[in-house]
């Protein structure tokens, strides 16, 4: 379901959602990390994005790299899983 997030947003509007994301770290031969400029903030970060319905983290990371950078990648190892908030909590 390539448009899963958009479909959910049409149903719930701008209310908070719990969404999983996958991000990858790509190193070249000189051990430099690939960063991309974010379209939404203009800041720099690692390529990645939201998981689609039924997708694994690895599948999402490979897909996001292709969508964001045009690169076809494989996953060598999982570096970590983060389970804490990285943004302010929603309060009503």
On whether residue 11 sits in a domain, the answer given is yes
- The token duo for 73 is 């990648």
75 or 78, higher pLDDT: 75
CATH number at residue 9: 3.90.79.10
What does the alpha-carbon distance between residue 26 and residue 90 come to, in Å, rounded to a whole number? 32
Report residue 30 as tokens: 């000189």
Residue 87 has pLDDT above 80, yes or no: no
* Percent of the chain whose pLDDT exceeds 70: 87
Domain total of the chain: 1
User: Sorting pLDDT into bands at 50, 70 and 90, what band is 92?
Assistant: very low
* Mean predicted confidence (pLDDT) in 37-50: 88
pLDDT, averaged across the chain: 84
Q: How confident is the model at residue 29 (pLDDT cuts 50, 70, 90)?
A: very high
| Cα–Cα dist 64/54, whole Å | 15
Task: Evaluate whether residue 82 is within a structural domain.
Answer: no
Owning domain of residue 22? 4-69
9 vs 32: CA distance, rounded Å: 36
């Amino acid at each position: 379901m390539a448009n899963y997030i958009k479909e959910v947003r049409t149903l719930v509007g701008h209310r908070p959602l719990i969404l999983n994301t996958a991000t990858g770290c790509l190193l070249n031969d000189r051990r430099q990390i690939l960063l991309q400029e974010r379209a939404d903030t203009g800041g720099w970060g690692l390529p990645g994005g939201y998981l689609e319905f039924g997708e694994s983290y690895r599948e999402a990371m490979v897909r996001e790299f292709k969508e964001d950078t045009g690169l076809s990648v494989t996953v060598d190892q999982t570096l970590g899983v983060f389970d804490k908030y990285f943004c302010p909590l929603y309060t009503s």
